[in-house]
Amino acid sequence: MEEKKANIRNLDYEALESLVIGLNEPKFRAKQIYEWLWVKNCSSFQQMSNLGKSLTEKLESAFYIDAIVLSDEQISADKTIKCAFLVDEKNAVEGVLIPTSSRTTACISSQVGCSLSCTFCATGRLKLMRNLTPGEMVDQVVFLRNRANNLYNKTLSNIVYMGMGEPLLNYKNVLRSVDILTSEKGLGISPRRITVSTAGIAKMIRKLGDDQVKFNLALSLHAANDQKRSRIMDINDSNNLEELADALRYFHEKTASRVTFEYIIFDGFNDQIEDAQELANFAKCVPCKINIIEYNPIDNGEFKQAKKQNVDAFASFLESKNLIVNVRRSRGKDIDAACGQLANKNKAVSLTPELLKQKK
């Protein structure tokens, strides 16, 4: 990739129109290019078969396409699919397709690595390398959508930004990717089918409210007690529960959206009734639903999976407080594709000549 070339997927539709007009091409070429980039997700200008040789050569001389490349794929016994995607010559991210009887979900990454170092998460052991571009996020969705259709004859129903990275620390690119996914010119997916999950950055949650986003917001809570939450999530030291509650109230006032609280339940740490009472008290801050998530052990991790009777008692207590509660059983554990396991046993990407050729 030549440094002088620009990423064409950084241009929005209006910028594409200005580009083609500046190249003395008819305005409708912008629509064709946009469809190739975002609907058909082609990885090279040569694939844009209806543009003509002259325009293709002009585009190739000035731009590149930040397409991702599949470098590894594993399929779980429960049909969950984990994909490692090469995003540059040094880095890979992971995306997961989760098919169930009621929905088919694409779980995508927003960053290469992560800076938050949550103790229970394998990705948190990696240092942050860089943010993903909107194109690299959309590509994950398109690839997983195609896998759902081709392997399982299923339509992709949901998208969750719950893979590697903290989405709100890649705010601009994440929102741009959502715009592309939901645009009529793009994939036309309803924003209510998209959930962005955050470890809890109060000022960015407020910004989501100011921007009046239409997608769903999930907060990775995991403890409704500052001391416990800070022990497992360093971010809580600078974004404590009181600040998060204020930000969530602000978000709800601006968007009228119900928030999801994600609560990974650990044996002997946050699985007692007193923990459930603290969660019920915190949940009063905003209309919400609660997802209790089965913990998935990682290599050399300090936590264990909570006992089933404790999980059931925990959920029953919350339900007795008239809260909406779902217990999420893990999928894809045998291939380290479950919640918190991404990058747990991530192998170095082998840069074969074929993969390098696809990235050029």
- 210 and 251 in contact (C-beta within 8 Å)? no
Domains of the chain: 6-65 (1.10.150.530), 69-335 (3.20.20.70)
- Average pLDDT (211-218) is 98
Tokens 């339900």, residue located:
319
Residue 356 clears pLDDT 50, i.e. is over it: no
- Average pLDDT (65-91) is 91
Calculate the alpha carbon distances from 218 to 230, 282, 290 in Å: 19, 14, 9
Of 277, 235, 255, residue with least CA distance to 116: 235
- Average pLDDT (35-41) is 92
Interatomic CA distance for residues 36 and 43, integer angstroms? 9
CB-based burial label for 177 (10 Å; 0-12, 13-18, 19+):
buried
Question: What per-residue confidence (pLDDT) applies to 118?
Answer: 75
The residues that are catalytic are 94, 339
Question: What per-residue confidence (pLDDT) applies to 346?
Answer: 44
Q: Which is higher by pLDDT, 126 or 235?
A: 235
Backbone φ and ψ for 48, nearest 5 degrees, come out as -80, 80
> Which of 37-41, 56-60, 62-66 is the least confident region?
37-41
Residue 145 clears pLDDT 70, i.e. is over it: yes
Q: How confident is the model at residue 301 (pLDDT cuts 50, 70, 90)?
A: low
Question: What per-residue confidence (pLDDT) applies to 123?
Answer: 63
Residue 148 clears pLDDT 80, i.e. is over it: yes
Q: What is the pLDDT of residues 276-288, one digit of tens each?
A: 999 999 999 999 9
The answer for residues whose C-beta is within 8 angstroms of residue 354's C-beta and 6 or more apart is none
The strand pair at 81-86 and 69-75 is best described as antiparallel
Residue 264 clears pLDDT 80, i.e. is over it: yes
Residue 349 clears pLDDT 70, i.e. is over it: no
Question: What per-residue confidence (pLDDT) applies to 124?
Answer: 60
Question: What per-residue confidence (pLDDT) applies to 200?
Answer: 97
Question: What per-residue confidence (pLDDT) applies to 360?
Answer: 39
- Average pLDDT (199-209) is 98
Residue 343 clears pLDDT 60, i.e. is over it: no
Interatomic CA distance for residues 151 and 144, integer angstroms? 10
- 292 and 326 in contact (C-beta within 8 Å)? yes
Averaged pLDDT of the chain: 89
Question: What per-residue confidence (pLDDT) applies to 348?
Answer: 36
For the chain, list the strands marked E by DSSP. 6-7, 63-64, 69-75, 81-86, 92-99, 104-107, 111-112, 130-131, 158-161, 194-198, 216-220, 259-265, 288-294, 324-328
Q: How confident is the model at residue 359 (pLDDT cuts 50, 70, 90)?
A: very low
Q: How confident is the model at residue 299 (pLDDT cuts 50, 70, 90)?
A: low
